[in-house]
Structure 1
């Protein structure tokens, strides 16, 4: 059982984009099955122009603004705050994600590795507008279920992904299946994760923890992702995860 608090590294990506990155970093490349976790901010004229990928699935979830996805499969779609889009790169996909409004576009991009048996699967795309993402209220807050049990977006890896919003003094617990790893990222506010303090832009990496307990001392927003590790070698090189 372990929990490690890690700071984000601020860096440039794409065309003028700024990201707060937790994965991959030279000293911490991946956290099986997760191979990238970026909190991005895009101004007008910045973004992620056309580029290739293979070997994983990616979910882009927005907090603000609007982003347009285009790919070589012929998909063209936009997603706004509270919405998500998922692509399965599989054997290979070429896509772009560019803001389609003047205001700042902010969100999370999460990459989930594909098991070796699915690396050569057909590429695919799924759009999840905000109104289709289930939102569940509980005493002290609410959560939006992006993927996993009760979630909107499908993945080929056993995983859950939630956007949790806690009131001041709010508490919430998530119990992932045994053997799963989890990441808790604090977007805004002040939270304790299994008794450890998490500051804004920090992430808690949990392994072997049967229960994720969240306590907010003020109104807070955080992302919780958990998944079953594949236990296979990960060969990660830029946009490719082989």
Structure 2
């Protein structure tokens, strides 16, 4: 069992987009089953024009603004804050994600690898408007369940994905099956993860931990992604994960 705290790398991506990236980086390409974790920010006229993908699933979850997805399957859809879009690249998909409002659009894009037996799956798309994403209150905070048990979005990998708000001094725990890995990202505030401090844009990478214990020092927003590793070699080259 281990926990490693990592800083984000700020970089350019797409057409004028800025991202705080944790995966993939030259020294830290992936964290099976996760192969990308970007906190993106798009100004007017920037975004992710048409491009191809293969071999994984992706969830785009919005904090603010609005984004439009178009793909070669004929899907055209738009989601706003608290909404999500999931595509299964599988054997191959071509899509774009562009802001559809004249204001800053920001969110997280998370890529989840597909196991080899599912790499050639038919590509697919799923829209999850904000009002369809379940929200659960608890003492000291609340969480939106984007994917996994009780969540709105479906994935082919055993995984969960949550957006958690904690009041100052609030606590929350998430139990994980044995052998899972997790990424805990602090969007805003100050918090401790299993006793280790996190600052904004830092992420904790948990390997083999069966419980995530969150404790807010100040009002905080946290993203939690956890999943079962596939345990297979990952060949990751730009937009393709083979």
> Following the alignment from structure 1 to structure 2, what is the Cα–Cα distance between the partners of residues 121 and 14?
26
> Following the alignment from structure 1 to structure 2, what is the Cα–Cα distance between the partners of residues 4 and 217?
20
- How many residues align? The count is 242
> Following the alignment from structure 2 to structure 1, what is the Cα–Cα distance between the partners of residues 22 and 102?
27
Match of 1:12 in 2: 12
Match of 1:99 in 2: 99
> Following the alignment from structure 2 to structure 1, what is the Cα–Cα distance between the partners of residues 207 and 237?
25
| TM-score, structure 2 normalization | 1.00
Instruction: Measure how far apart 1:149 and its partner are.
Output: 0.0
Alignment of 1:109-128 (within 5 A): 109-128=109-128
Gaps of 5+ in 1: none
Instruction: Measure how far apart 1:193 and its partner are.
Output: 0.2
Instruction: Measure how far apart 1:208 and its partner are.
Output: 1.3
Match of 2:179 in 1: 179
| TM-score, structure 1 normalization | 1.00
Match of 2:135 in 1: 135
What RMSD, in angstroms, separates the aligned Cα atoms of the two structures? 0.3
Match of 1:191 in 2: 191
> Following the alignment from structure 1 to structure 2, what is the Cα–Cα distance between the partners of residues 222 and 9?
18
Runs of 4+ residues over 6 Å off in structure 1: none
> Following the alignment from structure 2 to structure 1, what is the Cα–Cα distance between the partners of residues 208 and 94?
36
> Following the alignment from structure 1 to structure 2, what is the Cα–Cα distance between the partners of residues 3 and 58?
24
> Following the alignment from structure 1 to structure 2, what is the Cα–Cα distance between the partners of residues 110 and 218?
26
SS at match of 2:169: coil
Instruction: Measure how far apart 1:217 and its partner are.
Output: 1.0
> Following the alignment from structure 1 to structure 2, what is the Cα–Cα distance between the partners of residues 160 and 227?
6
Query: How big is each residue's C-alpha offset from its partner over 1:48-100, in whole Å with a ceiling of 9 and x where there is no partner?
Result: 00000000000000000000000000000001000000000000000000000
Alignment of 1:41-190 (within 5 A): 41-190=41-190
SS at match of 1:204: strand
SS at match of 1:229: coil
